[in-house]
Amino acid sequence: MDAFEAARYLHWPGDAVTEDVLRQLEDMGRELSSTAPPRLVWRVLPRTPEGCEGLCLPGGDIRALLEDAQQVIVAACTLGEAASRAARRAFLMDMARGVMTDACLSALIEEEMDRFEKEQTRKYRARGLYLTDRFSPGYGDLPLSVQKDLCDILDTRRTLGLTVNESMLLIPEKSVTAVIGICPAAQKHRAAKEKSGCVKCAAFENCVFRQQGRTCHG
């Protein structure tokens, strides 16, 4: 786990993180990645006008993102109940350790999604295809209510032990779902990674990084 990444979740700029803290975060990350290893499932589905086969993806942002896509990768990843328990234990014994644990878990799952995205990008580039950015329910105008069908289509209850509650929250908590388009040409619309992408981010108003004139993606 990248300790700087975990520090970022604590709104802690990389240049202010001390050696001591980095070492603590690294140790935690190492331990957590063995107690709560990420699990990921994914499928490739044909693109349809509504989204992809069996899954309606409403909203202008996702439509723009998938405009040229022929197929869609649908993925879900979770650190499982073990992560929730590790965080809860840490919080009970020492609140400061708790927030650091939480940050490490966020970094771990994000890294797993990045790793998956890179791996797919490499694979499809070799086939002459391009991937769009990764987009998750809750980004821009893609509603969280998509979670339910997305998890159904991946059968995440059975394949990951991941469910969606009545408020469309993923349970266990440290879980992520995402869609990525597979296109014949490099995409024209960049969703999250360009500066303009920030406007579409749900955290835009409150983003600590933006207030400091930075972005969360470096």
Partner 1 sequence: MDNLILDGAMGTMLMQRGMGAGELPEVWGMLHPEILEEIHREYVDAGSRVIYADTFCANPRKLKNSPYSPEEVIRSNILTAKKAAGGRARVAMDVGPLGAMMAPLGDMTFEEAYASFARMLKAGEEAGADLCVFETMTDLKEVRAGVLAARENTKMEIWVTMTFEKNGCTFAGTDAGAMALTLDRLGVDALGGNCSLGPGELKEIVEKILRYTDLPVIVKPNAGLPDPESGAYALGSADFAREMAVYPPMGVWMLGGCCGTGSEYIRALAALPPAAPRDGRKADALCSAGRVIDLGGVRVIGERINPTGKKRFQQALREGDMDYIAARAIEQEEAGADVLDINVGLPGIDEKETMLNVVRAVQAVTDLPLMIDSSSPEVIEAALRETCGRAVVNSVSGDEKKLRSILPLVKKYGAMVVGLCMDESGIPDSAEKRVSVGKRIVEAAKGYGIPPQDILLDCLTLTAASMQDQAMETLKAVTRVRRELKTHACLGISNISFGLPCRVLITSSFLTQALYAGLDMPILNPNQQDIMDAVYCFRALSGEDRGLGAYTSRFADRLSPAPALSANTAPAPASGPALDPVAEAVLRGLGGETEALVRTMLKTSEPMEVVEKHLIPALDEVGERYDKGRLFLPQLISASSAAQRGFAAVREAIAARGGEEKRKGPILIATVEGDVHDIGKNIVKAVLENYGYAVKDLGKDVPAEAVAKAVRETGCRLLGLSALMTTTVPAMERTIRLVRETCSGCLVMVGGAVLTADHAKRIGADFYARDAKAAADIAKKALG
Interface residues with partner 1 (CB under 8 A)?
A: 10-13, 16, 18, 20-21, 24, 39, 41-44, 53-54, 80-82, 84-85, 87-89, 91-100, 102, 138, 144-145, 152-153, 157-158, 160-163, 165-169, 171-173, 202-203, 205-206, 212
Work out the burial of residue 191: count CB atoms within 10 Å of its CB; fewer than 13 is exposed, 13-18 middle, 19 or more buried: buried
Residue whose CB is less far from partner 1, 64 or 209: 209
Residue 185 CB, shortest distance to partner 1, in Å, is 21
The smaller minimum CB distance to partner 1, of residues 96 and 199, is found at 96
In the DSSP assignment, the letter for residue 79 is -
Q: Is omega for the bond preceding 172 within 30 degrees of 0, making it cis?
A: yes
Distance of closest approach, residue 8 Cβ to partner 1, in angstroms: 11
Here the tokens at position 77 are 């990843």
> Using CA atoms, how far apart are residues 139 and 116, in angstroms rounded to an integer?
19
Q: How far is the first Cα of the chain from the last one, in angstroms, to the nearest whole number?
A: 17
Q: How far apart are CA 198 and CA 9, in angstroms?
A: 17
CB of 142 to partner 1, least distance (A): 11
Indicate the residue among 64 and 153 with the shorter CB distance to partner 1: 153
Nearest to 111 by CA among 168, 164, 57, 32: 32
Please, which residue, 94 or 114, has the CB nearer to partner 1? 94
User: For partner 1, which is the closer residue by CB, 18 or 188?
Assistant: 18
The C-alpha atoms of residue 125 and residue 112 are separated, in whole angstroms, by 20
Output the CA angle 115-39-41, nearest 5 degrees.
80
**Least distance in angstroms from the C-beta of 188 to partner 1:** 26
Q: How far is the CB of 101 from partner 1 (least distance, A)?
A: 10
